[in-house]
Amino acid sequence: MKTVNIALLGCGSVGGGLVSLLRDQHEQIRRRCRVDLRLRKILVRDSERIREGVDQTLLTDDPEEVIESADLVIELLGGLEPARTMIRNALVESRNVVTANKRLLAVAGTDLHDLASVHRVRIGYEASVCGAIPIIRILRSHVNCLDVTQICGIVNGTTNYILTRMAEDSSTFAESLEEAQRLGFAEADPTLDVGGIDAAHKLKILAELAFDQRVCLDDVAVTGIEAIDGSDIESARRRGKVIRHVARAQRRGDRIEMSVAPEELPRDHPFAAVRGEENAILVCAAGAGEIFLRGKGAGSLPSASAVLGDVCDVATSN
Ligand code: HSE
C-alpha cells in the first residue's frame, strides 16, 4: 500500500480538527482509498504548548524540518506570509499542496497554480471556499460542460452567524461576533469577515472557476455588515424579509460583475433558510438550470473534512 507522508503547517481550529480526522478515519481511508496517510510533522509557533489530542512529538517550530518530512504539505497558517513562501518552496520541490488559504489564492492563485503545473504537482483548495460544501470540486470537474451565467451565495459563516443571532435571539452585533470568534468561525482579524473582504476573496476564486477566466479582486464591489443593527433586521422582518450577506458574480457579455453586500430577501428565498455558520451556493447555468448547495461553511470539523477530502484525492492521484 502507498504511504503518503504529511506535513501540517498550522494547528489552529481547522488544523486541530484535521489532526483528529486523520486519526479517527485512518483505517477507513486505508481500506477505501488504499493509501496510508502518515502525519509526520506539525509546524506551530510554540512547540511547547500542549494541544489536546495532538501528539506533542510531532510539533516543531522549524519550517525547513517540517517541509522536508513530507510528500504532501497542508497549509493552514492563513494570511499571505509565510504561507506563500512555504507553499512556493513545497511546489518547487515537487511536493503536492492542500490549502484552505482563500486570501492567498485570491491574491496569488495564478502564480501558485502555474508553479504547480510546471513542477507537475497539485494544489487542492476545496476548504478555501464554503467549508464542507464541495463547490470547488463541482466547478472544477463540470465547468467545461456547465455554461454558468451566475454564481451567488452566502460564503462567510461568521457574517451569517451574526445576522442569524441578531434576528433570532435579539443579540447585539458585538455579542454575536464575540460568539463567532469563540466558536472558531471568525478570521484572526474579524474585520475581514464583517467587512466582506473574506467573501470577496472567495467570490474571486469561485468566479474564475465558474467562468473560466481571470477576474480582478478590485472589481468586486464590497459592502460589509458593520452598519446593520437590530432595527434594520426588525424592519426587514415586518416586511416579510430577512437580511443575508450575499456574494454575486454574473456574466454580462465579456464582463463579470461581482459584488458582496447585505441584501433583503423574501422569507421563501433559499438563502433565507441558511442559518448560523451555514453557507449556500446557487449556480445558474444554461441547460442545467439552478443548482443549490447548502452546508456548514466554517468551523473546525466541517473545514477539516474539506481538507481531508483534498488530501485523499491528491494522495491517491499520483
Ligand atoms: N472566517 C471564515 C468564515 C472561515 O466565517 O466563513 C471559513 O472560511
Torsion of CA 143, 144, 150, 154, to 10 degrees: 0
CB 121 within 8 A of CB 97: yes
| Percent of the chain surpassing pLDDT 70 | 100
Segment 141-168 mean pLDDT? 94
Residues whose CB is less than 8 angstroms from the CB of residue 237 and which lie 6 or more positions away in sequence, other chains included: 167
Could you identify the residue written with the cell 459584488? 259
Instruction: Report pLDDT digits (tens) over 75-100.
Output: 999 999 999 999 999 999 999 999 99
Query: Half-sphere exposure of residue 309, counting CA atoms within 13 Å on the CB side?
Result: 18
Helix (H, G, I), strand (E, B) or coil at 113: helix
What is the SS3 assignment for 1?
A: coil
Q: What is the pLDDT of residues 224-266, one digit of tens each?
A: 999 999 999 999 999 999 999 999 999 999 899 999 999 999 9
Q: What's the rounded mean pLDDT across residues 159-185? A: 97
pLDDT of residue 93: 96
Q: Give the confidence band of 208 by pLDDT, cuts at 50, 70, 90.
A: very high
Ligand 1: list residues with CB < 6 Å.
Answer: 131, 156-158, 185-187, 193, 198, 297-298
Gap between the Cα atoms of 26 and 276, Å rounded: 30
pLDDT-derived band at 143, boundaries 50, 70, 90: confident
> Is the link from the previous residue into 82 a cis peptide, with omega within 30 of 0?
yes
Q: What's residue 306's pLDDT?
A: 98
Catalytic residue set: 202
Q: How many CB atoms lie within 10 A of CB 309?
A: 18
In this structure, the residue with its CA closest to atom 8 of ligand 1 is 298
Which atom number of ligand 1 is nearest to the Cα of residue 158? 5
pLDDT (average), residues 280-307: 96
Distance CA 274, CA 280 (A): 7
Rounded Cα gap, residues 315 and 96, in angstroms: 8
- As given in the structure block, the three cell numbers for residue 174 are 458585538
Distance between CA atoms of residues 305 and 307, nearest Å: 5
Helices (H), the chain: 13-24, 26-33, 63-68, 83-92, 102-118, 135-142, 157-168, 173-182, 191-194, 197-211, 230-238, 300-317
Nearest atom within ligand 1 for CA of residue 193:
1
**Is residue 303 scored above 90 in pLDDT?**
yes
Query: Residue 199's closest CA among 167, 152, 242, 236?
Result: 152
Look up residue 140 and give its three cell numbers. Answer: 472544477
Q: What is the H or E stretch that residue 294 is in?
A: strand 289-296
CB 181 within 8 A of CB 159: no
pLDDT band at 32 (very low <50, low <70, confident <90, very high): very high
What is the 8-class DSSP label of residue 275? -
Residue 100 alpha carbon, nearest atom of ligand 1: 8
How far, in Å, is the centroid of ligand 1 from the Cα of 42? Answer: 22
Decide if pLDDT at 144 tops 90. no
Which among 76, 182, 187 is the best mutation to test ligand 1's pocket, defined by most ligand atoms within 8 Å of the CB? 187
| Edge-to-edge strand ranges of the sheet holding 123-124 | 59-60, 35-43, 2-9, 72-75, 96-99, 123-124
Minimum CA distance residue for ligand 1 atom 4: 298
pLDDT at 248: 98
User: What separation, in Å, do the N-terminal and C-terminal C-alpha atoms of the chain show?
Assistant: 13
pLDDT in tens, 243-254: 999 999 999 998
**Which pLDDT score is estimated for 69?**
84
Q: How confident is the model at residue 318 (pLDDT cuts 50, 70, 90)?
A: low
Residue with cell 509546524: 43
Q: Please report the pLDDT score of residue 49 as a whole number.
A: 94
Determine the Cα–Cα distance for residues 75 and 128; give it in Å rounded to an integer.
11
